[in-house]
Amino acid sequence: MRLEILYEDEDYVAINKPAGVMVHKTPLEKDPSTLFAVQLLRDQLNQHVFPLHRLDRPTSGVLMFAKSSKAASILQPAFAGNGIKKFYLAVIRGYAPESHGFIHQQLAKDLNGIKQEATTEYWELSRTEIPMASTSRYPSSRYALLRAYPHTGRMHQIRRHLAHIRHYIIGDSTHGDNKQNKFFRQTFGLKEMLLHAIELRFIHPKSGEHTLVKAEIPEYFTATCKAIQLSIPPQ
């Protein structure tokens, strides 16, 4: 697999990570066919790269690396704070509670159950209602397209926050709605999760310039939205 490079300079490089590709190896991943972004990009550029943040395995979109440990140490603190702005697109079950709103819900950091403050801001971009029953409860089904911005960087934050308000991301097998996932798999052939990191903004540490990196929406994402008549505004 050859990764799509969205941005590159002497210190940093950003790719459009495909869904299903992990950022780097973990002891828990035993499948020999699994692809890792760090390894793929290292081989593609013929040099070591250092991931500056993470994207969940089923999430596609902008993923940024440094080309040296020094460059990583300079920019990485911005990812831990609010210096980096990351925006996502997500297709959810139902309509958002508000056209623009916030989800404030503490999230456990790890299996120890220690909770951290977490805030996700969202904007509803479009909505649809299709004359098909995704469950036996209603004769039609409603969905919406959100633009989401996590003000904090907790594990699976957007997925867990939307699950908390019961507007599950379509295709999310961990925090989503299994009935909805089955409906989309059987009706539209969707195997992926509809969460895409579409945009990343940062101030370049050398030039001081505001830098914008955008990732094209995957074909399966746009095809599914078209199938349920959910419009995607220009990004």
Active site residues: 56
Is 139 exposed, middle or buried (CB count within 10 Å of its CB: 0-12, 13-18, 19+)?
A: exposed
- Structure tokens of 11? 């210190």
DSSP-assigned letter for residue 95: -
HSE-CB of 161 using CA atoms within 13 angstroms: 28
For residues 128 and 94, give the distance between their C-alpha atoms in angstroms, rounded to a whole number. Answer: 9
Q: What are the start-end ranges of the E strands in the chain?
A: 4-8, 12-17, 50-51, 60-66, 85-93, 100-104, 107-108, 115-116, 119-130, 141-150, 195-203, 210-214
For residues 19 and 110, give the distance between their C-alpha atoms in angstroms, rounded to a whole number. Answer: 24
